[in-house]
Amino acid sequence: MPEVVGRFAPSPTGPLHTGSLVAAVGSWLAAKQAGGRWLLRIDNLDRPRCRPEFEDDILRTLERFGLEWDGPISRQSDHGEAYAAAFGRLRELGTVYPCGCSRAEIARLASAPHPGEEVPYPGTCRNGLAPGRTARAWRVRTAGVTVHFDDLRHGTIVTDLGATGDFVVKRVEGFFAYQLAVVVDDWLTGVNQVVRGDDLLDSTPRQVLLHQLLDWPLPHYGHLPLVTAPDGGKLSKRDNPVSLAAGLAPGQESKLLAWALRFLGRKPPALLEGTPCRELLAWACGEGS
């Protein structure tokens, strides 16, 4: 069996919060319990919102919680040529096409309202741009495509991608979309285990399709339950930050880590209460149940 290679891929658009701590701990445990490596990638695709001080804070925060990564840090900002090569391959295969629709136009064309959800693309430009229209993006054809994958927590998932619509992989401004970028990122760094939050579960079938189109090995996926805000919604970067820069009091790391382990179904014994984070992680990795 190949060595397990997991990863954690935060975006430096703000401090880590309790939800991202759970994702980091869960992905670290999944890789380490399998005797594998845990990589760190900085997902800085959203250049206008990413800031170096947030990246530095994320690194220091992970270190404070004893979450040490293996090997050098990778960054999406260094992968532009690989994204372009993968996109070029998709064009050669004829699986992508230019689209001239704006988000507002797609919303108007939707057959039914989709409150709080992404509106499925109706395929307006699938057979060619209308006269006088210019491309705004490039989309992957999904009509008639059904994707299957096994999730470490949810089991087998089957998705009709045709129903969710053709999705964007590149904007005409030259920006590559998240769906393509993370697939290339994982392939470049040899990641074969992707453990992350349930908020990304809907993205996974699209990424599975891209792996298949590019003829790349498919990682094992696992999606963790989400830590939600008091109103039940998704946490923002402003909610429950876990870094000194965002106001976390020194010495609270062990307490927060124990909470994260309990959230993930681990119950540290009372004798470990208040122990250093590395000891808690060693227990969870070797003896936790």
User: Binding residue per annotation — 167?
Assistant: no
Q: Are residues 66 and 123 in the same domain?
A: no
Tens-digit pLDDT profile for residues 144-191: 999 999 999 999 999 999 998 999 999 988 899 999 999 999 999 999
| Per-residue confidence (pLDDT) for residue 66, from 0 to 100 | 96
CA distances for 117 relative to 28, 182, 229, angstroms: 30, 21, 19
Mean pLDDT of 198-219: 97
185 in a structural domain: no
Which strand (E) or helix (H) includes residue 258? helix 253-263
Is the pLDDT score of 231 beyond 80? Answer: no
Measured at the alpha carbon of residue 109, what is the angle toward residues 107 and 110, in degrees to the nearest 5?
Answer: 65
161 in a structural domain: yes
Is the pLDDT score of 116 beyond 50? Answer: no
User: Binding residue per annotation — 101?
Assistant: yes
Q: Are residues 157 and 87 in the same domain?
A: yes
Structural domain of residue 74, as residue ranges? 5-78+190-199+217-286
205 in a structural domain: no
User: Binding residue per annotation — 206?
Assistant: no
User: Binding residue per annotation — 237?
Assistant: yes
Is the pLDDT score of 237 beyond 50? Answer: yes
Give the three-state DSSP class for 154: coil
User: Regarding predicted confidence, which is higher, 183 or 105?
Assistant: 183
Is the pLDDT score of 288 beyond 50? Answer: no
User: Binding residue per annotation — 99?
Assistant: yes
Cα(78)–Cα(17) distance, rounded to whole angstroms?
A: 26
Cα(186)–Cα(147) distance, rounded to whole angstroms?
A: 19
| Per-residue confidence (pLDDT) for residue 210, from 0 to 100 | 98
Is the pLDDT score of 289 beyond 50? Answer: no
Cα(133)–Cα(281) distance, rounded to whole angstroms?
A: 56
Give 247's pLDDT tier (boundaries 50, 70, 90).
confident
Q: Are residues 107 and 73 in the same domain?
A: no
Nearest to 39 by CA among 180, 195, 152: 195
184 in a structural domain: no
User: Binding residue per annotation — 126?
Assistant: no
Cα(15)–Cα(57) distance, rounded to whole angstroms?
A: 7
Mean pLDDT of 61-86: 97
Place of tokens 């096994």: 150
Is the pLDDT score of 113 beyond 80? Answer: no
Give the three-state DSSP class for 175: coil
Q: Which are the catalytic amino acids?
A: 237
Cα(186)–Cα(181) distance, rounded to whole angstroms?
A: 9
DSSP 16: -
User: Binding residue per annotation — 10?
Assistant: yes
Query: If you average pLDDT over every residue of the chain, what do you get?
Result: 91
Q: Are residues 256 and 195 in the same domain?
A: yes
Cα(6)–Cα(26) distance, rounded to whole angstroms?
A: 10
Residue 188's identity, in one-letter code, is L
